Structure 1
């Protein structure tokens, strides 16, 4: 765990416990935040679209990413039981952290999901979560101070668990994950063949032979980004290549990568890269260096 501590862990700024009968939600926008599902079923929504299901014991870290990345609008919503079912309480623990763009979170995907099984396997993380739950169970100034003192260890152990899970996932390639790779691969092939198509998660899930929720969860686990963010980043990558290597008009490039107008494309490109298309083209030619896509700042 020392590696995580050495990489400039951001300081914990706030911690809370939310519980009660659904439906209700927790805003999960900026700054970086970590959430532990204690009871109930939740889903994570991004920019109004539901894309990740969360169950008791799951941990999710939101708002990581490279320097300058703009956060998406995210929220956690607890799922009400089906009609006729007995109401069940829901509970989530939430911690927020000061932005530290050059620290331990900068190399991560914007959403890091740790399933309950991985959390249970990570004894250190499980222990800190238990201590945090105990501290928040009895509201008082002293207990709140105790809970806040656990925020940096909570994040450090979550990052350690994430690295361990990635290593185990890589070791399983070619065995249990082979069918998963094929399903996601079908969707990836379609995206790469037709980047300008008006893709939806539902359409990609049908192509992969999965439900919407299962496809979104597996895609995120495999590639580290939600499906529609991958589509947006692929479009920007192809647009940047066309800008750097040719003289085509912005309107022509916009149409090729799926935008209805030059204005919409220019706005999206600047939001992703921090640079207008014309400025990017001029800089690329002036530098005379091999093409390299600038860091992505935000999802379209």
Structure 2
């Protein structure tokens, strides 16, 4: 496997086969990203003590981040309370970053710093997803079939990619190959929320980013995020973030 020393606290490994002889950072944790296949979703496994045997459990092409626990907790602003061996589905945004690292076709002089920077981005986004309770565990065998799991992940991608559209249950069900019943039950089981909650949460997260990254009026941002009037947007935003959009923007930009 190819090794990239990101910093004294972080090492990235990429490729197939055994890890081999490496010098991991002190008190390292491991994040093992599998890219998935046509019949299996992309996953990430958390290892609290990444020994060679655990890292070599799967010899397919994979991306491994070895990071000191202190660095992770410093970035996350909290302790890592994940169980050793926990396996999660890779959210679409994280999979995009992981694929960019894997498929980088730049010359060697450029690919190494590119992959280094993307590795840091992948770690930060994983820790943010953990802090937001957005990591979805892979269901134990028998709870959800592999096919239904993939279709529910496809339904979640529809929301992630088409959140600005007027989405309906029937539209999402058709796009993912599920009926309405399986879609609604599966969302509660797999994502611990309703389809409507997932849509609203994504729209409000996008609204929060727009408030900080643009100078658009609050009413315009609400409309772009699917709210027909400013009052309904403000109520929904305040329930989600605990403060009104204007306060959210002012407090964070002043920090």
TM surpasses 0.5: no
TM-score normalized with structure 1 length: 0.36
Q: Which has the higher helix share?
A: 2
Larger radius of gyration: 1
Q: With structure 2 as the length reference, what TM-score do the two structures score?
A: 0.42
